[in-house]
Amino acid sequence: MKVLHLAAGNRWTGAAAPAFAEVEALRAAGVDAHYAYVGGYKLQAKLGHYDFAHPVIEKAQHPWAFARTVEKLESIIDHHGFDVVHAHLSYDHLLARTVTRGRNIAVARTFHARRVLRSDPFTRFLLRGTPLRFVINDAFRELQPEAVFTPPPVDHRQFRPDGPKLELEPPVVTAIGKLSKGRGFEDVLHSFAILRTHLPNVRLMIIGHGEHRPVLEQLAQSLGVDVIWAGYHEDALAEHYRASNLLLFTARGSDEGHRAVIEAMACGVPPAVYPLEGMHALVDAAHIAAAPTPEALAATAVALLTREPLGEAMVARSQEFSYARAAQRLIDAYGA
């Protein structure tokens, strides 16, 4: 079996990371899987050394750029003879339908966010020629009941409990994401302020960067809490997780598979999360706050931090999202 994944995102966050992880998972399982992405950004510097990653999707998304991208994709398809073209974003979906026209190639699509689960004429047109459908969030099957749930794969070579870590005095609770308005960091800070009334020595680390940080810094100051602003990390991310005793997760990201929750668990870090869509497919009820409020999240965090160590249980749970399990889900769906 030969599979080509398309992801037109221009940065590692969003759909790009889980899409690439699926390609790596398939290759580890013996499938000849390739990855096509947008060239010319930092993403190319990260992926350029992989011979199965092709920076052939053009930056612009106008008719002339689309035609040039189609030509490049057709050349790759002619060379490798793919059986499946798997799209991850709507632009990819249109590319996939175009390059497979007149060919004996199946089209697949993963939906990474609820906002793209539409029923407009254009989406219905794309789906008519798409027999293979996947969702990265289990709750999305309400709108795509025939879709297969494929949660973000976790790379256990990087995200594991052993290995180097930041030297921070425990206990440390961590939050991660882009520091933008609406990404839940105000609730993280309020939850942490409440948490400190129960566990005065607990510390907060926030991983990420963004334009909203000055606002968050002012809020932290007004709440009288100190924050370790760790900045954005990719390669050293596991080192930051391993320095943590708990992950606070309060809002969905641009990709709604809640990948950070799975990565933290793979490092042995239990999550305390808001009751977000699809979260019950990732963690058990003890990790999910009773309501999307700082008070409820703080109560969940206190309960988890005062339990016996949960590291082994978290690592065991993360195996459900391993490369091997991810590859098998995809292979089974492609084969069917």
Give the model confidence (pLDDT) of 230-240 as tens digits.
999 988 999 99
Backbone φ and ψ for 146, nearest 5 degrees, come out as -85, -5
Lookup: tokens for 208: 């990420």
The rounded distance, in Å, linking the Cα atoms of 133 and 131 is: 6
Q: What digits encode the pLDDT tens for the residues 9-20? A: 877 788 999 999
Strand order through the sheet with 32-38: 53-57, 32-38, 2-7, 84-87, 106-111, 132-135, 148-149
> According to the model, what pLDDT value does residue 13 have?
81
Q: Considering Cα of 79, then 80, then 84, then 88, what sign does the dihedral take?
A: negative
Confidence check: pLDDT of 40 > 90 = no
> According to the model, what pLDDT value does residue 10 have?
79
* Beta strand pairing call for 32-38 and 53-57: parallel
* Eight-state DSSP code of residue 255: S
Confidence check: pLDDT of 39 > 90 = no
pTM beyond 0.85: yes
Cis peptide before 171 (omega within 30 of 0): yes
Lookup: tokens for 118: 């539409």
The rounded distance, in Å, linking the Cα atoms of 85 and 90 is: 13
User: What mean pLDDT value characterizes the chain?
Assistant: 95
Does residue 289 contact residue 183 with C-beta atoms inside 8 Å? no
